[in-house]
Structure 1
Amino acid sequence: MSRHVNSREAVVTVEPDQSTPSRTPSCPTDPETAFAELVSLHPEAVRCPYPTFALLREQAPVHWSDALGAFVVSRHDDIVEVLRDPGIFSSRLQSGASSVTGLAQRLVDDTRTSAPLRAQALRRLEINRDPALLNADPPLHIRQRKLVSQAFTPRRVAQLEPEVRQVAGELLGALKSRSSFDFVTSYAMPLPMTIIARMLGVPEERLDDFKRWSDAFTQGVGANDLSEGQVSDLFESVDEFYDYFTDQIERRRVAAQDDLLTDLVTARLPGDRPLTVHEMLQMLVVFLVGGNETTTNLLTAMTHRLLSDAELEQRVRQDESLIPAFAEEMLRLESPVQGLFRTATCDAEVAGVPIPGGSMVWLAYAAGNRDEALTSAPDELHLDTERPLRHLAFGRGVHTCLGAAIARLEARVGIEMLLRHYPALRLAADAGLRMHRSFVLHGIASLPVVVGNLTAAGNTSLG
C-alpha cells in the first residue's frame, strides 16, 4: 500500500443551487470512464456523481466495473430485486474491500505487511467472524434483529424527542455569541453523536474519543488509497473502541444501566443463546456509524440546500410541517450512503446480465433514488406529492436500517430548532465546499455559515 492520502476531504467550489446535477464540460460520456473517476475520488465526481449514475442507468444498468472489481446495479427496481434475495446476494461484506474488515483481509493476505500491522488486522478479522446485523444474513440476521429491535420501537424513539430537543438547544445556545461557525463541527456532528453516545452510556468526557472511533470505521469506506501509516492509525483507534466497549460490556454484566448497551447484554430469546461479545462489538460499530456519520451528512445536506435556495427556505420557515417531507427528499437526492455491496453466493442473473458466483455487486442506492421510473423529474425536489417518493437511503427488505426512525427524528428536530434559533443564517461567501473523500459515504465535511441579515445574500429572513 504505497499511495498516500493527505486528507479525507476534497475541496471544490460551492455552487448556489444543486437541484440540477452538473459536472464540468469534460464529464466523460463512457460509463466505465465516468465511474472510474468516481471510484478514484475525482473531486467533481465525488461532489456530483449523479450524471455518472444517469449514464449507467441509461447505457449499462448492470455494469461490470474494472475500476471497482464489481458489478454496479443502478436502476431502482433491479436494486430492490437484489435486496429481496439475501440467499443469493449475501451481505457478508457490505462495505466492500475498502471497509475496515476488507482492509484487514488485504493486509493479512499481503506477505509484505509488517508483523505489528498484521496483528492488528488479525484481531479485526477474528471479531468479524461473528457477523452482526449489517453484515449478517438470515437466519442469523433475523435472530439478531429480534434481540435488539425493542430498543428501536416507535415508542422508544418517540421518548427520545425531548432529549434531542434539549441537546439541539444546548448546542445552538452555545453558538449564540458567534457571528459565524462551521455548521458540521458545531451542530450537525455533535447532535446525533451526543444522542447515540448517551444511548450507549458513553460519558460526555469520552465524546471526542467516540467521534475519533467513528471516523476510524468510516475512513476507509469508499477510499482505496490509504497509506500503511494511515491504516495503522485507523486500526489503533479501532482497537481502542474494542477495548473500551469490551470492558463496558463486562461492567454491564455486573451492574445493569438504563442504556442500549445493557439491552444488548441482557437480550434473550426463548431457548436461544445470548449475543456473544464479538456480536455485540459488531453491533456497536453499526450503531456508532449509523447513529452518527449518516445523520450528520443528512443534516448538513438539508441545511446547505435551504441556504442555497431562498424560496425553499422561506417556504419551510413558514410551514414547519414540510420538514419531514424535505428530509425524505434530501435522503433521496443526497443519500448519505450512496450504495453498499453484496456478494453472489452462486451463479445468478440481474436484469438479464449473468453474475458469476463469488462476484461482488455494488448496489448504487443513490442512482436508484434518481431513477426516472420513480418520477418524471427525478433530479428535482418534490415537497407536494401526496406520499413521499420511494427511496433506498435506508435500504430495503430485511436490511432496512434499524435506526431510520431515529435519523428522521434528529433531522426533523435538528432543522426545526436551527430555523427557530436563527431567523437569519447564510452560507459564508467564497467558501470551498469540502466533501468527504468517498464514493460510498456522501457528505459535506465542512459548511461555514454566517449569522446576520440575509438580504444581501439574496435570501429573505422570516424572523
Structure 2
Amino acid sequence: MSDLARVWDTPKAVCPVGSIGRNYAPFDHERMHESLAVARRSEPVFYSPDIDYWVVTRYDDVFAILRDPDRFSAANANTPISPVPQEALDLLKEGGYALEGIQVNCDPPRHTRIRNSAFQLLNMKQFGYLEDDIRRLVIDSLDRMKGKSRVNLMEEFTYELPAKVIFLILGIPEDEAAQVKKWATNRLLLSFSRPTHQEQMDAARNLLKFWHYCVGLVARRIDSPQNDFASNMLRLRNGDDTVLTVNEINSVAFGLLFAGHETTTTQATNTINALLTERDSWEAICADPSLIPNAVEEGLRMYGAVVNWRRRTRCDVEISGVRIPAGSNILMSFMSANRDEKYFDRPDHFDLRRANGRKHLTFGNGIHVCLGAPLARLEVRIMLEELSKRYPDARLVGDRKVEYVPAFAFRVPKSLWVDLEA
C-alpha cells in the first residue's frame, strides 16, 4: 500500500486539561516559537487535536525517540497530514505509481538493508569529490545575476542549484532542474500541507509524472549503465532481489530527487535570510570566511529546513511523565529541541561563535540520520562563501517580508528579496 493511502488506527487521545495543544498552530511559522517555548517549561509533551499528534518539545525526549526504533516506528514519516481523496489515489494506482517506503518511513530490517547499500554511495568521501563542481555551479549562478541590483535570491540563486547538484549524482542534464523542482513541490504539498481537493488532484497527476521520470531513469541505466548513483545501485544489486529490488532502486532515486534538494534550497535560503537579518553576522563572515561553517550550523539550529518529524509508538510509552498508548502519532519538534535552554545558551540568539551549534537535531539522529547531511553542509557553505565574497553589501529589501509555505514539517520560504549592492 502506498504511504499516501495509509490509514492508521489511532487510539483516542486523552488531552490534559488546559493543554497548550489547543492553541498550537503547526502550520504557522510565525506563532510556533512562542508556544513551544512555553511548552518546554510547563508542558513538554502535549496533544494537538488539530493534527492528532502528541508533540514532543524537549531536546532529551526528541533525542531519545530518534535513538529508539524498537519503540518508535518511522512508518508514518511521510503519511499525508490531510487524507488524500480516493479519486487521487485511484489515479495514482491506475497510473502505476508504486513508491515504496525505503528510508525515512521504513523500519529495520528492511531499512538497514537498503541504507547499507545507499551509504556506500552517499557518504562524506563521495560528496567531497563534488566540491569543485558545486563551486562551479554556484559561480555560474552568481554570474547570471550580474547587472541586477534587486533580486529574489531564492528564484535566482538557491532554488534550482541544489537540484543541479543532485543531477550530478544521478547523471541528469542540468536543464531539467526546473521541472523536477515543480514535481518535488507537489510531493511536499500532498504530504505536509493542507491542499484543496483540486490542488490534491493536480499534485497527484504531477506526482505520477515524477514517479515515471524516476522509473525511466533507472530503466535507462539498466540498459546503458553509467558512473552515476542509479547505475551503481544496480551494480550493488547485481541481479539479486535480496540485496535490492529494481523498484526499491526506483524508490531510492525518487527519494533522492525529492529530499536531496528541496531541503537544501530551503536551508540555504533560511540561512542567508538569518545572516542578512543579523547584519553583524553577515559582516562578520564577509570579513572572516572561516566563520562560515559556524554560520551553517547556527542556521541549521535556529532556522532548520526540517522543523518537525514524525514517529508512531509501537507500544505504550511514557515521555516526560505523559503516558501515550501504542499506535499513537508522535511529532518531534526539532525547532523546539534546537532551542532548548538546557543545551543552548540564549537559544533565540544567532551566535556565529556558538561552541555547540552542531549539536542541533535538524538532520535527525540514530539509524535514520540524514545521509545527505554532509552534502547539504557542503553546498550551503560554498553558497555562503561565494555570495558573501561577491556581494558583501547585500541587504534585505525592507518592505518584502518573507512568507512561508503552510507546511507543518518544513520551514519553506516563498521568496527572499535582496538588494545586491549598497
Where 1:82 maps in the other structure, the secondary structure is helix
TM-score, with length taken from structure 1: 0.83
Amino acid of the residue matched to residue 446 of structure 1?
Answer: S
Q: Which whole-Å CA distance do the structure 2 matches of 1:32 and 1:151 have between them?
A: 42
Q: Which whole-Å CA distance do the structure 1 matches of 2:279 and 2:124 have between them?
A: 34
Contact 2:296–2:380 (CA under 8 A) maintained in structure 1: yes
- The aligned counterpart of 2:10 is none
Q: Which whole-Å CA distance do the structure 2 matches of 1:358 and 1:295 have between them?
A: 32
1:324-357 Cα distance to aligned partner (Å, 9 max, x none): 1111111110111111111112222222221111
Contact 2:22–2:48 (CA under 8 A) maintained in structure 1: no
Q: Which whole-Å CA distance do the structure 1 matches of 2:243 and 2:322 have between them?
A: 42
- The aligned counterpart of 2:371 is 402
Aligned match for 1:87, one of 44, 60, 70: 70
Q: Which whole-Å CA distance do the structure 1 matches of 2:94 and 2:331 have between them?
A: 27
- The aligned counterpart of 1:390 is 359
Q: Which whole-Å CA distance do the structure 2 matches of 1:125 and 1:341 have between them?
A: 27
- The aligned counterpart of 1:133 is 103
- The aligned counterpart of 2:22 is 33
Contact 1:95–1:221 (CA under 8 A) maintained in structure 2: yes
- The aligned counterpart of 1:54 is 37
Aligned match for 2:123, one of 153, 168, 173: 153
Pair 350,30 (structure 1): closer, same or farther in 2 beyond 3 Å:
closer
Pair 126,179 (structure 1): closer, same or farther in 2 beyond 3 Å:
closer
Structure 1: segments with no counterpart, 5+ residues: 1-28, 109-113, 454-463
Question: Is residue 2:95 matched to residue 1:120?
Answer: no
Q: 150-159 or 327-336, which moves further after superposition?
A: 150-159
Q: 288-297 or 413-422, which moves further after superposition?
A: 288-297
Aligned match for 1:445, one of 411, 414, 417: 414
Question: What pairs up with 1:195-214 in 2 under 5 angstroms?
Answer: 195-214=165-184
- The aligned counterpart of 2:145 is 175
Contact 1:97–1:103 (CA under 8 A) maintained in structure 2: yes
Question: What pairs up with 1:351-430 in 2 under 5 angstroms?
Answer: 351-430=320-399
Q: Which whole-Å CA distance do the structure 1 matches of 2:96 and 2:330 have between them?
A: 22
Contact 2:310–2:332 (CA under 8 A) maintained in structure 1: yes
Question: What pairs up with 1:63-462 in 2 under 5 angstroms?
Answer: 63-98=46-81, 103-104=83-84, 107-108=85-86, 114=87, 117-122=88-93, 127-128=98-99, 130-224=100-194, 226-268=195-237, 273-453=242-422
Q: Which whole-Å CA distance do the structure 2 matches of 1:126 and 1:349 have between them?
A: 38
Give the CA deviation at 1:270: 11
1:296-315 Cα distance to aligned partner (Å, 9 max, x none): 11111121122222221111
Amino acid of the residue matched to residue 236 of structure 2?
Answer: A
Pair 153,223 (structure 1): closer, same or farther in 2 beyond 3 Å:
closer
Q: Which whole-Å CA distance do the structure 2 matches of 1:93 and 1:159 have between them?
A: 34
Where 1:316 maps in the other structure, the secondary structure is helix
Where 1:47 maps in the other structure, the secondary structure is coil
Give the CA deviation at 1:154: 2.1
1:40-61 Cα distance to aligned partner (Å, 9 max, x none): x3xxx32352112112212221
Q: 413-422 or 303-312, which moves further after superposition?
A: 303-312
Q: Which whole-Å CA distance do the structure 1 matches of 2:364 and 2:47 have between them?
A: 22
Pair 290,88 (structure 1): closer, same or farther in 2 beyond 3 Å:
same
Q: Which whole-Å CA distance do the structure 1 matches of 2:89 and 2:410 have between them?
A: 27
Amino acid of the residue matched to residue 365 of structure 1?
Answer: F
Where 1:152 maps in the other structure, the secondary structure is coil
Where 1:194 maps in the other structure, the secondary structure is helix
Q: Which whole-Å CA distance do the structure 1 matches of 2:132 and 2:372 have between them?
A: 17
1:200-235 Cα distance to aligned partner (Å, 9 max, x none): 1222232221111111111134322x1221111101
Q: 287-296 or 260-269, which moves further after superposition?
A: 260-269
Q: Which whole-Å CA distance do the structure 2 matches of 1:374 and 1:269 have between them?
A: 46
Q: Which whole-Å CA distance do the structure 2 matches of 1:380 and 1:157 have between them?
A: 31
Pair 375,125 (structure 1): closer, same or farther in 2 beyond 3 Å:
farther
What is the RMSD computed on CA atoms of the aligned residues?
2.1
Structure 1 residue ranges (4+ consecutive) displaced by more than 4 angstroms after TM superposition: 123-126, 269-272
Amino acid of the residue matched to residue 59 of structure 1?
Answer: S
1:117-175 Cα distance to aligned partner (Å, 9 max, x none): 342244699724x3201111111111111111122222211111000000000000011
Amino acid of the residue matched to residue 354 of structure 1?
Answer: R
Where 1:379 maps in the other structure, the secondary structure is coil
Pair 195,271 (structure 1): closer, same or farther in 2 beyond 3 Å:
closer
TM-score, with length taken from structure 2: 0.90
Pair 239,270 (structure 1): closer, same or farther in 2 beyond 3 Å:
closer
Q: Which whole-Å CA distance do the structure 2 matches of 1:382 and 1:423 have between them?
A: 19
Aligned length: 405
Contact 2:164–2:177 (CA under 8 A) maintained in structure 1: yes
1:395-445 Cα distance to aligned partner (Å, 9 max, x none): 010000000000000010011011112132111231132212212110321
Where 1:435 maps in the other structure, the secondary structure is coil
Contact 2:162–2:264 (CA under 8 A) maintained in structure 1: yes
Pair 384,273 (structure 1): closer, same or farther in 2 beyond 3 Å:
same
